[in-house]
Amino acid sequence: MTSSEASTQRIPPFVSLGSARAFVAPAIARDHSVNHTASVAKATGMAGVSRETVAAGRNVLDSIDDSSPIARELAHENKRRERLLGRELPKPEKTRIFTVSNQKGGVGKTTTTVNIAAALAAAGLNVLVIDIDPQGNASTALGIEHHADVDSIYDVLINDVPLQDVVAPCPDISKLICAPATIHLAGAEIELVSLVAREQRLRRAIDVYAKERAKNGEERLDYIFIDCPPSLGLLTVNAFCAASEVLIPIQCEYYALEGLSQLLKNIEMIQKHLNAELVVSTILLTMYDGRTNLAAQVAAEVREHFPEQVLGAVVPRSVRISEAPSYQQTVMTYDPSSSGALSYLEAAAEIAER
């Protein structure tokens, strides 16, 4: 099976991802899904629905009594999917370059990067992910090789290797490419110190790559997402200098608010001394747990302080999102019917339409 065929099977075009019925086939492709659907039916008063009926692709939501909490949640998700149905995402006037950053670790930077990139690429937009985190988690999630022998973004920054020689296509999603990270990046902070124009090396590499694509008759990149390590070293500074927008994922917990204020001060310094065009355009609330008051309070406080930047979409805590990287996939291809995939589709649509 070719990569394009796998892409078509695993994740349909964005414009068809709104229908609850469109999600029945991917769900039953996994052995456990029919049992799961049957258990949901039983919990919502539909124990009489046969496995054959479910497998035939009928919409279980049509018959569910919405008096139960599970049924209400399913009905709400169905309405959200219907709002996405038929939506075509516009191409930006020029390439939008995002740095996905937060100095606090574990807030969902990499997960946000790869899933929003996957959602936009599924919509037919040309997307590049640049992984500058030495852990290489974004490369793993996209199924890109990033062992020590692979040319990576380290070679671009330190050895002036052209970016076009480093990028590799994502095997699951067409129009999505990735510049991988390797363990060599762990020492790049020290090696960059002595190099000329050390803060601008990534920006220059991206500019050269854009010109090469145009020269070769390739389509222009619509989006570039740079996945940063949880620190403000020279790697992250390079990302800030290369980007025009900052996307900040914020975990819905108290410590995230402290980290946000420190991050904004550092971005202000970058704007003042290195990149006046940089703006914090997007904030995404992640790991939201609606059962806790704390999550709601953090979300409300962030929205109060940043009413224009915070996306309406909120990413919940999701087992599916956590499982996907272990299969070297994004949640968009691993389980497109999950609530996590739906939330990232909504976030990608908001970003594209801003």
257-302 per-position pLDDT tens digit: 777 888 899 999 999 999 999 999 999 999 988 888 888 898 998 9
Tell me the pTM: 0.81
The answer to whether 77 and 342 are in contact (CB under 8 A) is yes
| Alpha helices, H only, 160-286 | 188-192, 201-215, 234-242, 254-273
Spacing of C-alpha 104 from chain mean position: 18
Query: How far is the C-alpha of 67 from the C-alpha of 44, rounded, in Å?
Result: 9
* Mean pLDDT (whole number) for 201-210: 97
pLDDT in tens, 114-143: 999 999 999 999 999 999 999 999 999 999
Mean pLDDT of 229-256: 91
What is the residue-averaged pLDDT of the chain?
A: 82
pLDDT beyond 90 at 64: no
Give yes or no for residue 113 having a pLDDT over 90: yes
* Per-residue pLDDT tens over the stretch 158-183: 999 999 999 999 999 999 999 999 99
Helix orientation angle between 109-122 and 339-353, rounded to the nearest 10 degrees: 70
pLDDT score at 137: 94
Using the 8-state DSSP alphabet, how is residue 269 labeled?
H
Report the C-alpha gap between 184 and 205 in whole angstroms: 18
- 226 Ramachandran zone, left/alpha/beta (phi>0; psi -120 to 50): beta
- The SS3 assignment for 275 reads coil
Phi/psi class of residue 263: alpha, beta or left (left: φ > 0; alpha: ψ in -120 to 50)?
A: alpha
**Confidence (pLDDT) at 66:** 59
Return the pLDDT at 6.
42
- Asked if the model's pLDDT at residue 15 lies above 80, the reply is no
DSSP string, 70-92: HHHHHHHHHHHHHHHTTPPPPPP
Give the DSSP per-residue string, 102-149.
-SSSSSSHHHHHHHHHHHHHHTT--EEEEE--TT-HHHHHTT---STT
Which pLDDT belongs to residue 21?
Answer: 33
- Tell me how long the chain is: 354
pLDDT at 338 over 50: yes
- Beta strands 223-227; 245-251: pairing state: unpaired
The bridge status of strand 223-227 relative to strand 176-179 is unpaired
Position 39 pLDDT exceeds 90: no
Residue 62's pLDDT is what? 52
Least confident of 72-86, 94-108, 194-208, 316-330: 72-86
Q: State the angle between helix axes of 69-84 and 339-353 in degrees (0 to 180), rounded to the nearest 10.
A: 30
